[in-house]
Amino acid sequence: MIPIHVSVMPEEVMKYLVPSRPDALIVDGTLGEGGHALRFLESYPECRVIGIDADTVMCQRAAERLSLWRDRFELITGWTDEVLTEWDGAFPDLILMDLGISTFHYDGSGRGFSFKSGEPLDMRLEQDGDSDASELVNTLREEDLANLIYTYGEERFSRRIARRIVEERKKSPINDSSRLAEIVVNAVPAKSRHGRIHAATRTFQALRIAVNGELDRLSRLLDTAPGLLAPGGRLGIISFHSLEDRLVKKAFRALDLRFGGTYNVLTRKPLVPTEEECRSNPPSRSAKFRVIENIPSEAIV
């Protein structure tokens, strides 16, 4: 299997997520194609890695890529927030969450994550999930659709876009990603159609977040994961847009203050990719990496 996705901020991850013991348990909560997990397995020959992903296709790709490490790698198919809520194993020494969507989803999944080619408007990471993106686009009331695009996409033209979508779906259902992108482009003012990012980017982001319940899942993860860390353990989260980063920042600060020295935020300001990485791997440009540590009781004075 030839990987499509290039893992974001690998050097920063390996610098900040260093296990405190050789036989550490490491949880990669967004396994994807296994890029970060591979680096852990190669760098720490006694560690054990558990990879979690809700997408069965990604799990298959990662399992093939990491097949040489079967004795130290375990794969769990499922949503990480749900898996960690039911966790009854050893306390992890490291937990990593890379919240970005894999390049494979945009370029090879055929599920409508990208507006560059006409694909079924699906956007589900878990294919057995409930509503897909086309259902939201074709059934939500105009006001609800506008609110969704504004809230999850931070799109200032959300009402214009929702109005145009409702007008177009009356002609025929909107089931194709390229058609939706064209509708969005035509809905925004002409001067906003050729900005730094594609005019449909925020709308597609909003639909993807809604379809997969991403922010709700992140909130549950932030409630659960820190309490699972072994003493001295670290939780690192890479986010890709302001909605995610605000949740992570707020949760980490609350832990630092609430538990009076039990948790320590190691990144007072988020780490960001180097200019070189941004050039070589453009999807990394918006990444922000934050890390929190569970301080061992003997280190608390």
Shared domain check, 22 and 164: no
* Displacement of CA 129 from its chain's centroid (Å): 17
Looking up residue 265, the CATH number of its domain turns out to be 3.40.50.150
> For 12-61, how does the pLDDT look when each residue is reduced to its tens digit (9 = 90+)?
999 999 999 999 999 999 999 999 999 999 999 999 999 999 999 999 99
Shared domain check, 99 and 139: no
Shared domain check, 32 and 61: yes
> For 246-296, how does the pLDDT look when each residue is reduced to its tens digit (9 = 90+)?
999 999 999 876 666 689 999 999 999 999 999 999 889 999 999 999 987
Shared domain check, 84 and 33: yes
Shared domain check, 221 and 83: yes
Side chain identity at residue 27, one-letter code: V
Asked whether residue 166 is assigned to any structural domain, the reply reads: yes
Asked whether residue 273 is assigned to any structural domain, the reply reads: yes
Asked whether residue 2 is assigned to any structural domain, the reply reads: no
Shared domain check, 44 and 84: yes
Shared domain check, 208 and 119: yes
Answer yes or no: pTM beyond 0.75. yes
Asked whether residue 130 is assigned to any structural domain, the reply reads: yes
Predicted pLDDT of residue 168: 98
Shared domain check, 257 and 127: no
- Domain end position, chosen among 192, 212, 232: 212
Candidates 10, 104, 92; CA nearest to 52 is: 92
> For 99-156, how does the pLDDT look when each residue is reduced to its tens digit (9 = 90+)?
988 888 878 788 888 887 789 999 999 877 678 999 999 999 999 999 999 999 999 9
Q: Give, to the nearest 10 degrees, the angle between helix 177-187 and helix 201-212.
A: 130
Asked whether residue 28 is assigned to any structural domain, the reply reads: yes
Asked whether residue 5 is assigned to any structural domain, the reply reads: no
- Domain end position, chosen among 212, 245, 271: 212
Question: Into how many domains does the chain fold?
Answer: 2
Q: Which residues pair with 98 in a beta bridge?
A: 238
Shared domain check, 95 and 43: yes
Shared domain check, 290 and 141: no
Looking up residue 127, the CATH number of its domain turns out to be 1.10.150.170
- 4 band by pLDDT with thresholds 50, 70 and 90: low
Shared domain check, 199 and 127: yes
Shared domain check, 265 and 248: yes
> For 203-250, how does the pLDDT look when each residue is reduced to its tens digit (9 = 90+)?
999 999 999 999 999 999 999 999 999 999 999 999 999 999 999 999
3-state secondary structure the chain: CCCCCCCCCHHHHHHHCCCCCCCCEEEECCCCCCHHHHHHHHHCCCCEEEEEECCHHHHHHHHHHCHHHCCCEEEEECCHHHHHHCCCCCCCCEEEEECCCCHHHHHCCCCCCCCCCCCECCCCCCCCCCCCHHHHHHHCCHHHHHHHHHHHHCCCCHHHHHHHHHHHHHHCCCCEHHHHHHHHHHHCCHHHCCCCCCCCHHHHHHHHHHHHCHHHHHHHHHHHHHHHCCCCCEEEEEECCHHHHHHHHHHHHHHHHHCCCCEEECCCCCECCCHHHHHHCHHHHHCEEEEEEECCHHHCC
Asked whether residue 99 is assigned to any structural domain, the reply reads: yes
Tell me the percentage of the chain whose pLDDT exceeds 70: 95
Tell me which residue range forms the domain holding 163.
115-212
- Domain end position, chosen among 212, 230, 253: 212
Backbone torsion region of residue 19, taken as left when φ is above 0, otherwise alpha when ψ lies between -120 and 50, otherwise beta: beta
Asked whether residue 110 is assigned to any structural domain, the reply reads: no
